[in-house]
């Protein structure tokens, strides 16, 4: 097959044409929608007076009519292809273009552009979906003012919504009606939105800091109104927080959220009309977990914060995606930290980064937060662009301080409000406001891979000396002196006698640096406090040092990291014992038992934090640390270590689980989240002990569960223990929740992620035939195939290659109707460069079947990079 075209950042040029206004009329019918657009177009100042072709993007539509300045355009003045409409030899510097085209939302299974989600119709235009609605210059630096008129059957589609403020509505003959919306702010086409359907609507208001009353509306499927209060409260919290933290006030008269089931992403920040995946909108205590509640709050905040960081100031081109996403992830992280527990939130964000983004950085898809090229931009909605991008913003915040960062944000909006700009423009605003030269810091935007800091220490008289060397992964090992990353690096020096810690903020600017500190006695260094830089730190800690940091360090991240390093040390010792002797080590060292017991007894720790401290490293994380990981051995040793701890400390786990079971009132507070998290963690160790007491605790926990956090955790433990699909726990859950699609997603996910290897693949083949499994809805596809591949490693990576072939076949099928979901599912093969030769051979054979199927651009780009390994 012909290789798709690669697009390069270096080739960026401004559009020779700009669009001042666009008036859309969308006439919706059962089997099609007729779209009429009237655009006022001008030539870019550099193109005035030239004879040029006007190229408009357009896919999956039928051109019906075309007028230039009110007159029908002759056939020899334009050309139409499968992806473009070209107006030939345009001499006018200003003109009006009227286009009429036909689309069919019901047949649009890619879920891009205007499409059907169950009975509703909605849009998804980021990044390049608007070209599936009408012909347009579909790029983010072409910003226009939109007026949208929608016409539809009033009974079938009583709600007709679009961006901005509603300026008119009325009835029409034949039971039809219309509504017209106008957005007073210029925006790129990717922020356009349109929704038609019948909904229940939650309504509220918010009064801004300047006294403006904003109408708030959340549209959900009929019967789901009771699941909206948390989303509405989260929206009001977001609006208030953005005013208080950044002085940013909402700018329209109405803010709407629409929840739909079929959506490729989590949510979309369309101006004034956010369209959400229902998983990030609907929540109540019976059907949603604590993680769901926190997810709803965080995602609603994220999309609302985009109103300024993404909408009012947007991206010049898609290479700048982290300009809006990295910055807005940082903002939503800060929001959630203020709403919940800052320490726990930071741990969750770092865990996600280390488990997912570090792996992305180390794999075939490694790229900088500002990529230099792409084949399909959909593939760059990645952990690197989002989460690592947020860490880069956080480093600027650390380097210049909170007050100057706020001034930098003010300067950013002052300079660039209403414009499409670059990451360079953002850094420039921070420099202007802070007076700090960030020239060297800019290297973060173009450098792929995770840096490693190799740290050694020594004592010289009354000075403690740290030597720090920056090391970079291939292919960037050779770094010139003027191309070194600048980063903040916070450290603490814990006095071994007084247990007091002295903190220092270092700025690393060179490949090798030495730092000296006056000390009164022996100290233990805590490195990268608060995860001040997204790096791997290598330091030759003794276990005794780690135990000291675990016990006395005040920084939550470093305390957690010390605990994880102890677990890692113990796990690897057990792993190599197993590999060398062919049997499991029955013992736990007294040193490790003592350290673990100290954690259990420490009543000063926040309970959510304690549940994290008690959690062993994931099998995923352990696999990433190994070259040619033995997934079966990792799974066996991991389970055995948890079993030994469950047996050794069974009395404590039983007592604590029983104590926490007496908490009856359900609350959405950090304290309540912590109680439920620790209760579940205790149950995990009790079940791992494989004792009668452990299984009795599980049965009691499951039978008495009054919230989804506890109910789904118990179900997952049953599944992991190896019960049959017909087991009462699995079938009881199914019968209880089969009416609720969001809960059934958890059922499918749990079975995919936790089923033992011996029947995992067979079980998944059976599950995909279940009457409730919706084979074209992204949430269901992700719940089964990605959960299996990403979280059931020892089953997916069976060296017979059967699971590789199975997932590859499903990717080929999905790619035929939804390339976005297919390319993300291809991420299942991300560990290919770490595998042993047998697994690599099997995986490459599976990947080649995808290539033989002539995949979409989305899937081709991902799979070709894996095959290049």
Sign of CA dihedral 165, 171, 173, 174: positive
Spatial distance between the Cα atoms of 511 and 493, rounded to a whole number of angstroms: 23
- CA pair distance 389, 368, nearest whole angstrom: 9
Rounded Cα gap, residues 390 and 348, in angstroms: 14
* Alpha-carbon gap, residue 266 to 307, rounded angstroms: 17
d(CA 175, CA 311): 36
Check: CB of residue 438 under 8 Å from CB of residue 393: no
If one counts every other C-beta atom within 10 angstroms of the C-beta of residue 854, the result is: 12
Q: What are phi and psi of 30, to 5 degrees?
A: -65, -40
Pairing status of strand 84-90 against strand 52-57: antiparallel
**Omega of the bond leading into 764 within 30 degrees of 0 (cis):** no
Closest by CA to 869, choosing from 829, 832, 818, is 832
Asked if residues 807 and 752 have their Cβ atoms less than 8 Å apart, the reply is no
First vs last Cα of the chain: how many Å apart? 20
Identify the helix (H) or strand (E) that includes residue 518.
strand 512-518
Q: Please tell me whether residue 327 adopts helix, strand or coil conformation.
A: helix
C-alpha span between 766 and 309 (Å, rounded): 45
Instruction: Note whether 309 and 331 are within 8 A (CB).
Output: yes
Q: CB of 863 within 8 A of CB of 824?
A: no
d(CA 745, CA 93): 54
384 SS3 class: helix
Is there a cis peptide before residue 222, judged by omega within 30 degrees of 0? no
Strands 71-72 and 452-460: unpaired
Q: What are phi and psi of 63, to 5 degrees?
A: -75, 130
In the annotation, is 303 catalytic? yes
Dump the DSSP string for 36-92: EEEEEEEE-TTTTT--EEEEEE--S-EEEEEEETTEEPPGGGEEE-SSEEEEEEE--
Identify the three-state secondary structure at position 559. helix
Cβ-Cβ contacts under 8 Å for 359 (sequence gap 6 or more): 620, 624, 830, 831
Catalytic residue among 112, 128, 217, 303: 303
- The encoded tokens of residue 105 equal 């939302």
The rounded radius of gyration (Å) of the Cα atoms in the chain is: 28
Q: Which residue has the tokens 């794999």?
A: 363
Question: Is 725 within 8 Å of 763 (Cβ atoms)?
Answer: yes
Catalytic residues: 303
């Amino acid at each position: 097959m012909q290789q798709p075209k690669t697009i390069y950042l270096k080739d960026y040029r401004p559009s020779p044409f700009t669009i001042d206004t666009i008036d859309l009329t969308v006439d919706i019918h059962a089997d099609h929608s007729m779209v009429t657009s009237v655009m006022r177009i001008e030539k870019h100042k550099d193109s005035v007076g030239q004879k040029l072709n006007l190229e408009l993007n357009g896919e999956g539509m039928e051109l019906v009519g075309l007028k230039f300045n009110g007159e029908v355009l002759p056939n020899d003045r334009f050309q139409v292809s499968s992806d473009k409409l070209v107006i030939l030899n345009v001499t006018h510097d200003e003109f009006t273009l009227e286009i009429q085209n036909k689309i069919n939302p019901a047949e649009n299974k890619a879920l891009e552009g205007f499409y059907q989600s169950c009975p509703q119709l909605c849009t998804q235009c980021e990044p390049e979906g608007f070209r599936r609605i009408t012909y347009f210059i579909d790029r983010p630096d072409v910003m226009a003012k939109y007026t949208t008129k929608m016409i539809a059957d009033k009974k079938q589609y009583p709600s007709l919504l679009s961006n901005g403020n509603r300026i008119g509505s009325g009835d029409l003959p034949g039971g039809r009606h219309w509504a017209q919306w106008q957005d007073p702010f210029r925006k790129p086409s990717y922020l356009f939105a349109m929704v038609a359907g019948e909904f229940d609507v939650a309504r509220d208001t918010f009064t801004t800091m300047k006294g403006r009353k904003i109408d708030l509306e959340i549209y959900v499927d009929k019967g789901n109104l009771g699941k909206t209060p948390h989303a509405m409260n989260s929206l009001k919290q977001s609006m208030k927080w953005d005013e208080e933290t950044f002085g940013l006030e909402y700018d329209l008269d109405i803010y709407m959220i629409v929840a739909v089931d079929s959506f490729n992403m989590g949510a979309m920040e369309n101006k004034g009309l956010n369209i959400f995946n229902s998983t990030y909108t609907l929540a109540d205590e019976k059907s949603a977990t604590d993680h769901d509640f926190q997810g709803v709050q965080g995602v609603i905040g994220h999309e609302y914060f985009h109103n300024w960081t993404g909408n009012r100031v947007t991206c010049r081109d898609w290479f700048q995606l982290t300009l809006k996403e990295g910055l807005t992830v940082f903002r939503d992280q800060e929001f959630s930290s203020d709403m919940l527990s800052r320490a726990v939130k930071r741990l969750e964000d770092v865990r996600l980064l280390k488990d997912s983004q570090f792996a992305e950085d180390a794999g075939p898809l490694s790229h900088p937060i500002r990529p230099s090229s792409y084949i399909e931009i959909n593939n760059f909605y990645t952990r690197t662009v989002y989460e690592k991008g947020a860490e880069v913003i956080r480093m600027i915040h650390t380097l210049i301080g909170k007050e100057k960062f706020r001034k930098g944000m003010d300067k950013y909006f002052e300079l660039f409000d209403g414009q499409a700009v670059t990451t360079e423009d953002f850094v420039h605003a921070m420099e202007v406001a802070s007076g700090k030269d960030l020239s060297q810091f800019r290297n973060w935007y173009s450098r792929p891979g995770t840096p490693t800091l190799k740290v050694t220490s020594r004592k010289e008289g009354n000075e403690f000396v740290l030597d720090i060397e920056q090391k970079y992964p291939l292919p960037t090992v050779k770094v010139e002196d003027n191309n070194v990353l600048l980063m903040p690096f916070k450290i603490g020096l814990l006095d071994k006698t007084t247990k007091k810690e002295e903190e220092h903020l270092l700025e690393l600017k060179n490949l090798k640096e030495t730092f000296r500190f006056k000390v009164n006695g022996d100290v233990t260094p805590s490195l990268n406090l608060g995860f001040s830089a997204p790096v791997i730190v290598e330091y030759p800690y003794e276990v005794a040092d780690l135990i000291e940091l675990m016990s006395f360090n005040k920084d939550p991240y470093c305390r957690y990291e010390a605990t994880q390093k102890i677990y890692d040390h113990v796990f690897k010792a057990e792993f190599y014992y197993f590999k060398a002797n062919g049997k499991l080590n029955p013992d736990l060292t007294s040193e490790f038992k003592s350290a673990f017991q100290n954690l259990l007894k420490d009543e000063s720790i926040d309970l959510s934090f304690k549940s994290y401290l008690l959690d062993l490293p994931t099998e995923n994380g352990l696999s990433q640390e190994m070259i040619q990981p033995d997934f079966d051995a990792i799974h066996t040793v991991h389970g055995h270590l948890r079993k030994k701890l469950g047996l050794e400390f069974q009395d404590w786990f039983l007592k604590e689980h029983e104590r926490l079971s007496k908490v009856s009132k359900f609350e959405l507070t950090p304290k309540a989240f912590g109680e439920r998290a620790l209760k579940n963690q205790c149950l995990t160790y009790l079940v791992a002990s494989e004792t009668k007491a452990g299984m009795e605790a599980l049965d009691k926990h499951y039978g008495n569960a009054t919230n989804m956090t506890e109910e789904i955790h118990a179900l997952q433990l049953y599944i992991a223990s190896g019960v049959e699909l017909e087991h009462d726990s699995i079938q009881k859950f199914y019968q209880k929740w089969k009416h609720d699609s969001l809960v059934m997603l958890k059922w499918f996910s749990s079975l995919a992620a936790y089923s033992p290897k011996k029947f995992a693949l067979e079980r998944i083949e059976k599950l995909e035939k279940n009457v409730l499994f919706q084979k074209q809805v992204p949430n269901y596809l992700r719940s089964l195939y990605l959960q299996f591949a990403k979280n059931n490693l020892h089953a997916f990576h069976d060296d017979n290659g059967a699971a590789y072939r199975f997932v590859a076949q499903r990717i080929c099928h999905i790619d035929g109707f939804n390339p976005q979901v297919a390319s993300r599912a291809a991420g299942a093969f991300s560990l290919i460069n770490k595998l042993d030769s047998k697994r690599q051979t099997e995986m490459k054979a599976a990947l080649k079947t995808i290539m033989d199927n002539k995949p979409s651009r989305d899937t081709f780009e991902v799979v070709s990079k894996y095959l290049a390994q």
